Amino acid sequence: MSWKKTDILMDTIRHYSGFPATGVSLRQMVQFGERPSTGTLFRASQFLSEELPIRLAHRVQELGDLPDGLNEMPSIKKVQDWYAQSFEEITTLPRPQLSKDVRDRLMKPAKQTGRQSKILAEATKNPSVANGQYTSSPWQNGNGNGSHEKKGSARRYFATVEDTEDWPPELHDYNQRFAQTLNHIKRRHDSVVTTVAQGILEYKRKRQRMQIDNNIQSFLDRFYMSRIGIRMLIGQHIALTDQSHHKDPTYVGIICTKTNVRDLAQEAIENARFVCEDHYGLFDAPKVQLVCPPNLNFMYVPGHLSHMLFETLKNSLRAVVETHGQDKEDFPVTKVVVAEGKEDITIKISDEGGGIPRSAIPLVWTYMYTTVDTTPSLDPDFDKSDFKAPMAGFGYGLPISRLYARYFGGDLKLISMEGYGTDVYLHLNRLSSSSEPLQ
């Protein structure tokens, strides 16, 4: 690994970090439809080739500015290098030379198919997020020089392009190369969560801290929220570009326009029970009852929903087993109730796992808070994929799940009755027009 970040690169990164990120909504992401054309994909690549470096640049700056020597921890420096290297790869990817005619055609919007697409194109404020909650620190936005405003109008994530004629092969080649670069970057960043966690552990050990302070907590919230957004845009773009295999027509990239809540919940229940049986050596994990209309479908990213359900169910099963003892024959049943409203789909997970003392409630949302005695190994090779996790251990399950929920305008709430059990409410916003919370 001979990659080195240069001063010139760091200057460019500083410049990009002066621009705010542009939030995209779930609805805007599905406007591409099942099979976007070469021209439309190219426009999206152009947007991403500016937007992703802006988002990456903010993270490089923030990692470098972390207080109290945290920025000097080897794992934090490693992650910062990944972000800088990915920034460089996107910004230096050669763009095709296009004739004026092709450039004009790319800028020409497709004939509107009605008023619908115009309405869909607008993102609204995310209802789960206070103003500026996940915004980068103001000093990093200080050198905005106004040119962003000019760029603003051209920088649209989704823009349909009139696609009646054939496009020159350079466009298709560029789309392929761009997607390959994104794929490579996505893999590089697979173990960011565990590596940053490692960095925090290094810091806690070095400074002999028991808990992380508010600054670091809100940095991690912003950092992981931003990571969800970057990976969403990258994952979506790779999936849209890859049109080689026949796909399910209900999918647009990684978004399913008819995500079936009952099927996903059932699968998450089975997976969580399996992990629980495995972990405690049980013949039969505590039972989970699911109450959900069978045909409840909505537009969402199935991977995100599975993750949130699996994490909360694992917590409930663990609490039930540990409160009632592993030798118990009949555990109390955990209930999962799904309600369909106009605005939200809400999933309540109620367990009789003894609850959480009120004084510990704020802590469950902090990173690295766990009541597991021995945190599993944080070897960076471990847990490479986002969605594979052990029974418990890092104290990341709840805070990260809440970020996933908030990312698309939902939320995650927890109410406990100490001595009895816990109710977790997972609100999923079905209007799906809210912007990503990262301006």
Count of residues near ligand ATP by CB under 6 A: 21
Does residue 286 touch ligand ATP according to CB under 6 A?
no
The torsion angles phi and psi of 34, rounded to 5 degrees, stand at -65, -40
Cα–Cα distance for residue pair 127/428, rounded to 1 Å: 11
Cα–Cα distance for residue pair 316/138, rounded to 1 Å: 39
Pick from 410, 411, 409, 412: nearest CA to 433: 409
Catalytic option among 51, 88, 311, 352: 311
Does residue 439 touch ligand ATP according to CB under 6 A?
no
> Using CB under 6 A, which of 179, 196, 275, 356 touches ligand ATP?
356
User: Among the candidate windows 130-138, 147-155, 177-185, 365-373, which touches ligand ATP by CB under 6 A?
Assistant: 365-373
Does residue 392 touch ligand ATP according to CB under 6 A?
yes
Cα–Cα distance for residue pair 3/82, rounded to 1 Å: 10
Measured from the Cβ of residue 17, the count of other Cβ atoms closer than 10 Å reads 25
User: Among the candidate windows 20-28, 34-42, 298-306, 394-402, which touches ligand ATP by CB under 6 A?
Assistant: 394-402
Torsion region of 130: left, alpha or beta (phi above 0 gives left; psi -120 to 50 gives alpha): beta
Determine whether 307 is an active site residue: yes
Catalytic option among 58, 307, 335, 427: 307
Q: Name residue 290's beta-bridge partners.
A: 336
Query: 123 or 368: whose CB is closer to ligand ATP?
Result: 368
Query: 116 or 326: whose CB is closer to ligand ATP?
Result: 326
Query: 50 or 322: whose CB is closer to ligand ATP?
Result: 322
Cα–Cα distance for residue pair 48/424, rounded to 1 Å: 36
Cα–Cα distance for residue pair 29/407, rounded to 1 Å: 13
Residue 73 CB, shortest distance to ligand ATP, in Å, is 20
Determine whether 122 is an active site residue: no
In the complex, residue closest to ligand ATP by CB: 397
> Using CB under 6 A, which of 351, 352, 386, 436 touches ligand ATP?
351
Cα–Cα distance for residue pair 315/365, rounded to 1 Å: 13
Task: Judge contact between 23 and 47, C-beta under 8 A.
Answer: no
Residue count (the chain): 439
Query: 174 or 310: whose CB is closer to ligand ATP?
Result: 310
Residue 324 CB, shortest distance to ligand ATP, in Å, is 12
Which of the residues are catalytic? Answer: 307, 311, 314-315
Applying CB under 6 A, the residues found at the interface with ligand ATP are 311, 315-316, 319, 351, 353, 356, 364, 369-372, 389, 392-398, 422
